[in-house]
Copies of this chain bind each other. A is one copy, B any other.
């Protein structure tokens, strides 16, 4: 069986890998679509991010959907032939965080295609994947497999917006118009935000934000003075979602968000040098948002209802054998938003 394996920065290969063993509560899924995520790109370009470093070859991929081709003897929740979106997270269910309902903070998490632990956890860019039945969430007829493969990033964004509390009627700033920033804007719109402004430092990605409900998009590299009006009278926005990972975006947000406002950090940036006295004086709340738990099923539901239409956000679908080409395209913000592999 073929799989997309990262060996080192820049060294992406299509390797033969062994099939996985099916336990009684497992299902085997024929993978049909796999979205390339920012973290996949980080492994491809830099061999990791932050303190997370590739120490052995690893199958990439965690935004996947496909069809069930085999089920274990105790499987009751899915059946052969069903199309499923696959949840790439496998919390232990026993640690103190799992017991508190905070499964995304599990002390023993296995998350597909992640080098956070060693041995690394294999990803899902492979022709066939064996997973627990609880990870395989059926999708309705009428939803394409390409759409289903958006369940994972959409779950991340639903989770991020939940961290802000209700955004109904609120003014929302999103910095960074990549796949996560655009999906957050889409979720904020679906959650009733009154006004959404999306910023980036390039023009091309901002066109996608306009498709999902942003009232205004702004290239802050070109027009910083236009952004400055949002800083008057202690700030304009109620909530900011930082999806660029750039420290400068946080600094700008601290000025543009009003006192008692919330800044949700989603982008996995490195360090940011923050003016603590401004955070104090405005009583801002800076909150991290990390992955998801119950939001995976919610994401499938949202896609099924087309509450958020992700189809315009898929800029290319490329065969697995041309994975390097796909990764290069996915990394070029001027030409693409989300790129998926077909298997």
Contact = CB atoms under 8 A, between A and B. Distances in A.
Contacts of A260: 102, 105
A51 B29 CA distance: 48
Interface in A256-272: 259-260, 265-272
A135 interface: no
Interface stretch (A13-21, A72-80, A284-292): A284-292
Interface string A272-289: 111111011111111111
Interface string A83-117: 00000000001001111111111010000000000
B272 A273 contact: yes
B284 A287 contact: yes
A221 interface: no
Given A101-B100, A259-B102, A260-B102, A287 B285 contact: yes
A268 B280 contact: yes
Nearest to A91: B99
A7 B247 CA distance: 38
A50 interface: yes
B168 A191 contact: yes
- Kindly report how many copies of this chain are found in the complex they form together: 4
Nearest to A49: B277
Given A50-B277, A163-B283, A276-B250, A301 B169 contact: yes
Contacts of A230: none
Contact of A234 (B103, B107, B161, B270): B107
A276 B247 contact: yes
B284 A288 contact: yes
Contact of A162 (B168, B190, B194, B281): B168
A234 B97 CA distance: 10
Contacts of A93: 99
Interface in A31-55: 49-50
Contact of A266 (B191, B280, B294): B280
Contact of A281 (B233, B270, B288, B307): B288
A97 B233 CA distance: 10
Nearest to A284: B288
Interface string A299-325: 001100101000000000000000000
Contacts of A285: 285-288
A268 B286 CA distance: 16
A249 B302 CA distance: 29
Contact of A166 (B162, B282, B283, B302): B162
B280 A276 contact: no
A230 to B, nearest CB: 15
Interface of A: 49-50, 93, 96-105, 107, 158, 161-163, 165-169, 187, 190-192, 194-195, 233-234, 245, 247, 250, 259-260, 265-277, 279-290, 294-295, 298, 301-302, 305, 307
Q: Which 10 A-B pairs have the closest CB atoms?
A: A101-B101, A169-B298, A105-B259, A280-B288, A191-B192, A166-B166, A100-B101, A286-B286, A279-B288, A273-B273
